[in-house]
Amino acid sequence: RKHKDSKMDDTELYRNAGRKTSSLLDTFGIPSAAFKTSLQFDRGGKRDLKQYLICYRPEDVTNRHLLLYNGIINYIPGLESELDHISSKKLNMIIAMVSKGMSDGKSADLSSVKHKGLQYIGLNMYSEANALDPPIPEIEDKSMRGLNHPQLAHLLCPWKKLVWFDEDPDSYVSGEITMMAHIWPTFFYEHGVYDAAEKTHGLFRNHIVLRFYKHLFIGPSSVMNDSSNVCNSVKPSKNRAWGLTAVNKYIIAYVHIIISLALLLLTYFMISSAQHWTRCIGDMDLDELLWAIIEMLDDDPWVKDTLAWWNRYIFLCG
């Protein structure tokens, strides 16, 4: 049935809230834990979402649950007013649908870009000189995966260890160079830019992440047409459907996680048999990486400039 405060039916409304939650707020959050903590905390009273967006610290589990809880409440019209009298059965159903939406949204995004996104990696997408060599075919035969692909492994290697990588790429692939959540990989930085004395220089400004954002939030045609204003699609973009008017730190973190997972799955198949959405591959905990990025994007002049850079290059589709 249609929800009284939405044109969607109830099931789709709850699943859509889950899709928004995973992309715009907390990719690895657990709605059931968030609701349990938050309802015990204040018996359903909605806290100020902006307060938690500003004051959140990932080591504070309660605050993380409150952040997720308030985000879901914000994405489901009318739910806040129902919480004082809602039945446990209905609330559990809502939480299950939100969780389903989160899972489906992440899986769909990863599936969408895992192979298509490979053409976004080269600085010039239309130059054979920038193409992946060897190419990675879009097939399910595990033997044809890019196990030790040098260009993809290079992107995942931390900037500070590139000299070591270039001297002996096999050491990196075999795990001698460990990729950790607080050591930024090369693709986190603007192409060819890294300054050990100024580690924020070029950080989160790579051409790859811009293209992945456009693919995920606007549509693949916006990448291939080098445009951010493709508004005539039959299916509305996430930007339009979700009313996004600016990129924030949570979205930037999500895009980096999607790319990291896609590259890890394609490059390190031998480390993990997972070929779908997962939190950990080898020593890399993507949940830790997500919140390390969010923490890095605190409110200071560098962050404001970085967000302005993103929004300048991504003319959000109205």
pLDDT tens digit sequence for 293-315: 999 998 789 999 999 999 998 86
Q: Can you give the residue ranges of every domain in the chain?
A: 10-103, 116-313
The arithmetic mean of pLDDT across residues 274-300, rounded, is 84
Instruction: Check whether 27 has a pLDDT greater than 90.
Output: yes
- What's the whole-model pTM score? 0.84
Task: Grade residue 7 by pLDDT with cuts at 50, 70 and 90.
Answer: low
Distance (Å, whole) CA 207 – CA 190: 7
| Contact between 186 and 121 (Cβ < 8 Å) | no
pLDDT at 133: 60
Outline where 114-168 has alpha helix (H): 150-156, 162-167
pLDDT at 153: 80
Q: How far is CA 187 from CA 122, 208, 210, in A?
A: 11, 7, 11
pLDDT in tens, 82-126: 988 999 999 999 999 999 999 999 999 999 998 788 888 888 877
Distance (Å, whole) CA 69 – CA 30: 9
The enclosing H or E element of 284 equals strand 284-285
Q: How far is CA 166 from CA 91, 175, 199, in A?
A: 54, 15, 21
pLDDT at 138: 60
